[in-house]
């Protein structure tokens, strides 16, 4: 089969949003190169518009019960879009990182999708990016702290709160392989040292899979990022989560801390393995060592069995514990930043109100001008009629009628 449907399933926290934004923002150029990134005719609450494969796993509830009929309709509508896309391009790309952790997407579901693509005359290829598990678990924990989690990182590890996330890569990949075939499972590593393409980015690596090597024609605007908190800013948020007002997914404290972090540390501030000590890191990674070696050999054809090339960093200058004094000083900066933000918003509101007043004045002036012009026109008509009456000239009357018509 010449036609291919590429299904990118994450894993989460491996640049999926950047890939989706890039593809969605460059649909026209991709189409010119024989690649379709279809836009689905439906939207899901809380799901980015460029996650065009989300319909595959979306769950519909009605009266607290699964509505399988509605789910089926969405699924079939999505299949129709894929079929139409295959008529316009040889390659179709679908993406949704949720599919990696979705338990309902087992071997059978992948096999069914493969068979559906074959009926459409296309081969299904599954793309998976893998991130080193220590970095991945930190990212999961940090995200949950932003959303209200109170556990420290080590408590999070001890309680195995990360068990839902499928970090045993070999087990998950083996099941997908059985469904689609080894030759149709594309495994990549989320590590700069291993990216393909001249730019050595996640985007150049993903485009390499599609046999697109030159990205000069593509728009590479960056998406609005969900900035991660780290270091003392994350620890401060974790401590404040004991108060319900700060445990909501979206609250002003996250916004303020993000602004402070970017001001004080820069937008690229990121700590690698900072929340692990050597002992906890060794204990955590040992549970994945054998499987990671298997993945490297089977899916990347590496005799060395080394899946990840970058080593964990344990720089002594990086801190995982902060004194009350440090947190208290940060609290002061948070209050100052909050006040600055409040003043900025007040000035913004004042400026908007000022603009509103100016617009109202302009509108009033236009209305008055329009009213004046109407009065002038009526006056002109009256003067012309009086002139016609007194002149008694038929020729003048004709000329005047033409003038009146033109003015009215």
Predicted confidence (pLDDT) per residue in 98-107, tens digit: 999 998 999 9
Most confident of 29-33, 229-233, 377-381: 29-33
Q: Are residues 358 and 218 in the same domain?
A: no
CATH number, domain at 6?
3.40.50
Q: Does the residue 343 lie in any domain?
A: yes
Range scoring the smallest mean pLDDT among 154-158, 284-288, 315-319: 315-319
Do 84 and 212 fall into the same domain? yes
Structural domain span for residue 103: 1-130+191-225
> In sequence order, which residues have a C-beta less than 8 Å from that of residue 391 and are 6 or more positions away?
397
**Is position 311 within any domain?**
no
**Confidence at residue 396, expressed as pLDDT on a 0 to 100 scale:** 54
Structure tokens at 29: 């150029």
**What integer pLDDT is reported at residue 317 of this predicted model?**
46
Between 301 and 274, whose confidence is greater?
A: 301
**Is residue 3 domain-shared with residue 122, that is, in the same domain?**
yes
**Residue that finishes a domain, picked among 225, 246, 268:** 225
Residues 221 and 337 in one domain: no
Q: Output the average pLDDT for the chain.
A: 89
Q: What is the pLDDT of residue 407?
A: 53
Q: Are residues 218 and 339 in the same domain?
A: no
Model pLDDT for residues 126-183, shown as the tens digit of each residue: 999 999 999 999 999 999 999 999 999 999 999 999 888 999 999 999 999 999 999 9
- At residue 404, the pLDDT reads 54
Where does the pLDDT of residue 387 fall: very low under 50, low under 70, confident under 90, or very high at 90 and above?
confident
pTM given for the model: 0.81
Is 214 domain-assigned? Answer: yes
Lowest mean pLDDT among 34-43, 223-232, 354-363, 393-402: 393-402
Residue 321 lies in a domain: no
Residue 141 resides in a domain: no
What is 169-205 written as a DSSP string? HHHHHHHHHHHH-GGGEEEEE--GGG--STT-SHHHH
How many domains are there within the chain? 2
Q: Please check whether residues 220 and 337 belong to one and the same domain.
A: no
Which of residues 225, 246, 267 is at a domain's end?
225
- Note whether 7 and 126 are within 8 A (CB): yes
> For residue 292, is it within any domain?
no
| pLDDT score for 401 | 58
Structure confidence at residue 251 as a pLDDT band (50, 70, 90):
confident
Say if 256 falls within a structural domain: no
172-186, 223-237, 344-358 — which is least confidently predicted?
223-237
End-to-end Cα, the chain, rounded Å? 70
Interatomic CA distance for residues 173 and 128, integer angstroms: 9
At 47-102, the pLDDT tens digits run 989 999 999 999 999 988 999 999 999 999 999 999 999 999 999 999 999 999 99
Q: Is residue 33 part of a domain?
A: yes
φ/ψ of 207, rounded to 5, equals: -65, -30
- Please tell me the least confidently modeled range out of 13-27, 89-103, 148-162, 256-270: 256-270
Query: Could you say which DSSP state residue 103 is in?
Result: T
Chain Cα centroid distance, residue 308: 26
């Amino acid at each position: 089969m010449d036609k291919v449907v590429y299904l990118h399933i994450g894993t989460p926290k491996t640049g999926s949003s950047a890939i989706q934004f890039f593809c969605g923002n460059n649909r026209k150029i991709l189409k010119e190169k024989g690649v379709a990134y279809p836009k689905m005719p439906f939207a899901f609450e809380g799901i980015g518009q460029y996650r065009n494969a989300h319909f595959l796993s979306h769950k519909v509830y009605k009266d607290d019960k699964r509505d399988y009929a509605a789910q089926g309709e969405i699924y079939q509508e999505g299949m129709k879009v894929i079929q139409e896309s295959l008529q316009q391009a040889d390659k179709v790309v679908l993406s949704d990182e949720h599919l990696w952790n979705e338990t309902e997407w087992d071997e059978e579901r992948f096999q069914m999708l493969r068979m559906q693509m074959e009926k459409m005359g296309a081969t299904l290829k599954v793309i998976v990016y893998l991130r080193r598990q220590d970095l991945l678990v930190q990212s999961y924990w940090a995200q949950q702290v932003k959303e209200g989690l109170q556990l420290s990182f080590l408590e999070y590890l001890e309680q195995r709160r990360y068990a839902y996330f499928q970090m045993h890569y070999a087990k998950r990949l083996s099941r997908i392989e059985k469904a689609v075939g080894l030759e149709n499972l594309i495994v990549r590593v989320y590590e700069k040292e291993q990216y393909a393409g001249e730019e050595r980015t996640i985007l150049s690596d993903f485009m390499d899979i599609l046999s697109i090597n030159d990205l000069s024609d593509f728009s590479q605007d960056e998406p609005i990022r969900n900035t991660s908190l780290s270091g003392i800013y994350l620890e401060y948020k974790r401590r404040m989560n004991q108060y319900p007002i700060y445990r909501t997914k979206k609250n002003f404290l996250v916004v303020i801390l993000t602004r402070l972090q970017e001001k004080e540390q820069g937008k690229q501030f990121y700590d690698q393995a900072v929340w692990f000590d050597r002992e906890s890191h060794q204990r955590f990674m040992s549970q994945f060592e054998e499987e990671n070696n298997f993945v490297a050999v089977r899916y990347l054809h590496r005799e060395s069995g080394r899946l990840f090339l970058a080593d964990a960093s344990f720089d002594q200058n990086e801190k995982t514990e902060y004194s009350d004094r440090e947190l208290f000083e940060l609290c002061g900066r948070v209050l100052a930043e909050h006040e600055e933000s409040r003043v900025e918003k007040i000035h913004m509101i004042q400026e908007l109100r000022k603009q509103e007043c100016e617009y109202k004045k302009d509108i009033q002036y236009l209305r008055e001008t329009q009213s004046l012009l109407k009065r002038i026109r009526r006056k002109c008509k009256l003067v012309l009629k009086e002139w016609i009456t007194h002149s008694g000239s038929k020729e003048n009357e004709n000329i005047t009628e033409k003038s009146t018509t033109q003015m009215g």
